[in-house]
């Protein structure tokens, strides 16, 4: 009877150790994934910021050429690109905030950036 109880305890200990190892690996994966998402969001934000600058320059250069229907179409297209770039930059900002919050949640500590 004691032997069976000892064997069950040993099996339960091994099971608990396996579950602990799995949990540690899952947490490490969540941390790495959150770090990767945050880094990507920061890089995407920088890219969108550059795109916005380019769209602003294009729109600024297109304005003085506003003569006739053809130029009107080009100006409208440049303005649409500018608005799209602004929208994408705002979305990238939101993605940075959300990914930082997710990383802070996984790490259970605030990040000062």
| Chain segment 52-111, per-residue pLDDT in tens | 999 999 988 887 766 655 567 888 899 999 999 999 999 999 999 999 999 999 998 888
Structural contact between residues 68 and 62, judged by C-beta atoms closer than 8 angstroms: no
The secondary structure of residue 108, as a DSSP letter, is T
Q: Give just the sign of the alpha carbon dihedral 58, 61, 64, 69.
A: negative
Would you tell me how many other CB atoms lie within 10 Å of the CB of residue 96?
A: 20
Structural contact between residues 59 and 82, judged by C-beta atoms closer than 8 angstroms: yes
Among the four given CATH numbers 1.10.3470, 1.20.120, 3.30.1490, 1.10.10, the one describing domain 1-107: 1.20.120
Rounded Cα distance between 90 and 57, Å, is 19
Give the residue extent of every domain in the chain: 1-107
| Chain segment 5-39, per-residue pLDDT in tens | 899 999 999 999 999 999 999 999 999 999 999 99
List the one residue out of 53, 37, 32, 10 whose CA is nearest residue 98.
37
List the one residue out of 25, 27, 42, 28 whose CA is nearest residue 111.
42
pLDDT of residue 2: 77
């Amino acid at each position: 009877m004691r032997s069976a109880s000892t064997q069950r305890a040993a099996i339960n200990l091994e099971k608990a150790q396996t579950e602990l190892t799995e949990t540690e690996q899952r947490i490490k994966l969540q941390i790495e994934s959150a770090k990767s998402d945050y880094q990507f969001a920061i890089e995407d934000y920088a890219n969108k910021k550059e795109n916005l600058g380019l769209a602003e320059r294009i729109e600024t250069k297109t304005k003085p050429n506003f003569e006739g229907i053809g130029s009107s179409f080009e100006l409208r297209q440049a303005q649409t690109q500018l608005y799209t770039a602004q929208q994408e930059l705002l979305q990238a900002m939101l993605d940075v905030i959300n990914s930082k919050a997710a990383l802070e949640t996984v790490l259970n500590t605030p990040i000062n950036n």
